[in-house]
Structure 1
Amino acid sequence: MTPASLPSHAAHPDHGPQAWSAVGAMTLCVAMLIASEFMPVSLLTPIARDLHASEGMAGQAIAISGLFALVTSLLIPTLASRFDRRQVLVALTAVMVASLVLIAQASSFGLLMMARALLGVTIGGFWSLSTATVMQLVSPPHHARALGLMYMGNAAATALAAPVGSALGGVLGWRGVFWLLVPVGLVTLLWQALALPRMPPARAIPPGRVLGLLRRPQVRRAVIATMLTFAGAFATFTYLRPFLETRAQATLAQLSLLLLSLGAAGFAGTTLATLWVGRRLYTLLWAVPLLLAAVTLALLPAAPLLWLTALALAAWGALNAAAPVAWFNWLAQEVSDEPEAAGGLMVAAIQLAIMAGAAFGGLLLDQLSIDATFVGGAVLLVAAAGVAAGVGAHRPQPQR
């Protein structure tokens, strides 16, 4: 029996090989999405030069993927509820591959913008459906493990995208880097087509269902806490390079190693968060942003000492990687009746927070200093911890 002909109940096997193969395909797609989204950051200058655009314009072309991801994440639960989710995920992955081909052969700034918009559609659509899909692929006792595995793809791509892109770009050119991603994308597409079981629509999701979840107090608190967490993190993360260059006086080689250590530490953060969510989920929701704020502030006095900066960056990377693991496990546990709509809402909140946080950090940097950027990010993270503590304090108590 082929995967396409599996009965609908096979979409929730008891952690069999077919289910874990499907989770593996989802993990590879996550890695590809993160790599595709952030690879251009290290290739910004040659992209701008070849397409006769300023670096600021090229940066906007990169940012447009976030805008389309935001819009798609709000629409995809309703659209996907009318189709077999396997077909939706495969179609979204095909759009990702098409965007990579378009980026690699973009001959104008306009074509680059269109390709990045297509990538944003896949980012918003895939992330919105990923938690609900994992919940359907494996039985509830294995949700945390499966989500943790999927976020390993996130950690791997975050660690490798910028340094690998920079290194390969110097040898192959920026177009060559994206051409190398195309066959990996095709492998991802084939794996999903073979491994994902049929997941026929169980019910239609009305257009207002996604935002309607905000009427639930717990969901409203969680969305605010998530937005503050990601806004605070990206207010800092976006400007780590100028901080390391000016405050830590890092050379280009040292900069690459420091950023690699930050990304590599994400493996540890993802692993530990996956191990702890079963018993310490609500503690993680507030402790992660609070500790991340402390490490962000600690980077300022640590900067003159390179080894101390490296340690602080590793801690920052581990904590930053733990945040999405905690929040998407919260979603799987507390909004299990509406996983598709909740996934869309959460992804939209994160995308909006990333854009707002980056803009906030940039404003502080331009108007004040890099120190102000880090302090501003830490303030948002402390606020996130306070709201997240309320999420735990007000969670429904089990009936006795």
Structure 2
Amino acid sequence: MSDVAESGHAVTGEARHQPAQWSGVFAMTLCVFALVASEFLPVSLLTPIAGDLGVSEGLAGYGIAISGAFAVLASLSIARLAGNMDRKLLLLLLTGLMGVSGLIVGLAPNYQAYLLGRALIGVVVGGFWSMSAAVAMRLVPAASVARALAVFNGGNALATVVAAPLGSYLGGTVGWRGAFLCLVPVSLLALAWQWISLPTMKAAPRPAAGGGHVFSLLKQPLVVSGMLAVGAFFMGQFVLFTYVRPFLETVTRVDFSTLSMVLLVIGIAGLLGTMLIGTLLQWSMYRTLALIPLLMAVIALALTVAGGWLPAVFVLLGLWGLMATAAPTGWWSWLAKALPRDAEAGGGLMVATVQLCIALGSVIGGMLFDGIGYRATLIASAALLLLASLLAWRTMRTQASISEISIRFKSGSRT
């Protein structure tokens, strides 16, 4: 994603003249893997977490909501709060905080301590994602930036694939607390590796752009339309996905091994989706962005009817994973094309939008799941995804209008 404080410094002179620091890139990739796994581990562990802490599954799901809320706050404030701090030191502090979060959650004596640990991981998510890509760009020469970012984002994709099935497996073997504690040594390894491999990285000399620059992008109709579409997509996705384990256990009535298999299918399908999405985006970026949430809405509605039939659930959730994991790549491609001169500030705004809507989606899903039932949760997810599809189509029309005006303006200038 991006460091708003270093907007315009995506590839600095420092990066051009230093040799490539590939060990630092891989160290950050390991940190991303642990971070994303930590963020979404509760998805596959809601039932045991709720039972052990004496709360409902909906309240346990709020652990994802609170991490999203704190990620929003951190993403919008981390650059200003960090000031001139060495970016290496800041990364190390955030990585250490991730390990502390795992300890607090794994040893939580009550629900309040669990929420505290989840809030801390939210701070890490927002802070790390808001600055890490710009830091990675400073680790390699300009010609290698694309490759470095591809390696870096591989940690995100891998964690997305394995987090749910790995969490389910560890929860069944060492318990949900053990699953969180297993991430602590991974965090320590990432901390040590970054300490050794990352060079000193002073903050950019120019003043931070700050939140005002980020929010000034909302004056552009294209940005507003796109961010609304992104928000509706992530909200609709997590209304359903946060409570996929309770759905499988109470509606489909799967056992532990089958649950792990379903979650693994979702992850493998998601990895396949990330490999296919590039071809679809070349075909038509906006049509792809509109079609994905539309098909996911159909899947959510189909689950209200076929949720008790295991073969159908396997297929439907596999298709869900195929599209849900690939869609964010499409929206980041849109951002790069829509805001080529403000990609860093736009990235900060995207982080805040995504995390806020993940939090809202988890809360809405929990309220509906506890208060009305699983069908209400699925229908709400479908409605939000349908809205995301319509907003993506509207974004396409907005882009077309802007392009038409630009062409007319250029033609008028020539005459």
- TM-score relative to the length of structure 2: 0.80
Are the structure 2 counterparts of residues 141 and 32 from structure 1 closer, same or farther at C-alpha, using a change threshold of 3 Å? same
Counterpart in 2 of 1:69? 71
Which aligned pairs between 1:1-400 and structure 2 lie closer than 5 A?
9-11=13-15, 18-19=21-22, 21-44=23-46, 47=49, 53-55=54-56, 58-61=60-63, 63-80=65-82, 82-107=84-109, 109-133=111-135, 147=149, 149-196=151-198, 198=201, 200-203=203-206, 204-274=208-278, 276-277=280-281, 280-366=284-370, 368-395=372-399, 397=403
Which deviates further from its counterpart, 205-214 or 64-73? Answer: 205-214
Are the structure 2 counterparts of residues 295 and 149 from structure 1 closer, same or farther at C-alpha, using a change threshold of 3 Å? farther
> Does the CA-based 8 Å contact 1:77-1:210 persist in structure 2?
no
Which amino acid in 2 is paired with 1:383? L
The CA deviation at 1:11 is 2.6
Which deviates further from its counterpart, 30-39 or 95-104? Answer: 95-104
Counterpart in 2 of 1:4? none
Distance 1:137 1:378 in 2: 42
Q: Over aligned residues, Cα RMSD in angstroms?
A: 3.4
Distance 1:80 1:335 in 2: 25
Distance 2:360 2:64 in 1: 15
Which deviates further from its counterpart, 259-268 or 325-334? Answer: 325-334
1:46-75 Cα distance to aligned partner (Å, 9 max, x none): 55666x653466544554222211211121
Distance 2:370 2:338 in 1: 41
* SS at 2:252 equivalent: coil
Distance 2:152 2:302 in 1: 30
Which deviates further from its counterpart, 279-288 or 228-237? Answer: 279-288
Which amino acid in 2 is paired with 1:299? L
The CA deviation at 1:266 is 1.3
> Does the CA-based 8 Å contact 2:24-2:198 persist in structure 1?
yes
Distance 1:327 1:134 in 2: 21
The CA deviation at 1:194 is 4.2
> Does the CA-based 8 Å contact 1:288-1:323 persist in structure 2?
yes
> Does the CA-based 8 Å contact 1:129-1:340 persist in structure 2?
no
Are the structure 2 counterparts of residues 299 and 42 from structure 1 closer, same or farther at C-alpha, using a change threshold of 3 Å? closer
Which deviates further from its counterpart, 333-342 or 250-259? Answer: 333-342
The runs of 5 or more residues in structure 1 that have no matched partner are: 1-6
Distance 1:213 1:27 in 2: 29
* SS at 1:208 equivalent: helix
Are the structure 2 counterparts of residues 278 and 126 from structure 1 closer, same or farther at C-alpha, using a change threshold of 3 Å? farther
* SS at 1:250 equivalent: coil
Distance 2:339 2:141 in 1: 16
* SS at 2:21 equivalent: helix
* SS at 1:337 equivalent: coil
- TM-score relative to the length of structure 1: 0.83
The runs of 5 or more residues in structure 2 that have no matched partner are: 1-10, 411-415
The CA deviation at 1:367 is 5.5
Are the structure 2 counterparts of residues 369 and 40 from structure 1 closer, same or farther at C-alpha, using a change threshold of 3 Å? closer
> Does the CA-based 8 Å contact 2:169-2:260 persist in structure 1?
no
Which deviates further from its counterpart, 39-48 or 29-38? Answer: 39-48
The CA deviation at 1:277 is 4.5
Are the structure 2 counterparts of residues 200 and 387 from structure 1 closer, same or farther at C-alpha, using a change threshold of 3 Å? same
The CA deviation at 1:304 is 4.7
The CA deviation at 1:153 is 2.5
* SS at 2:254 equivalent: coil
Which amino acid in 2 is paired with 1:229? F
The CA deviation at 1:312 is 1.7
> Does the CA-based 8 Å contact 1:86-1:196 persist in structure 2?
yes
Distance 2:298 2:143 in 1: 33
The CA deviation at 1:144 is 6.7
Counterpart in 2 of 1:3? none
Which amino acid in 2 is paired with 1:54? V
Distance 1:371 1:72 in 2: 34
> Does the CA-based 8 Å contact 1:8-1:200 persist in structure 2?
no
* SS at 1:394 equivalent: helix
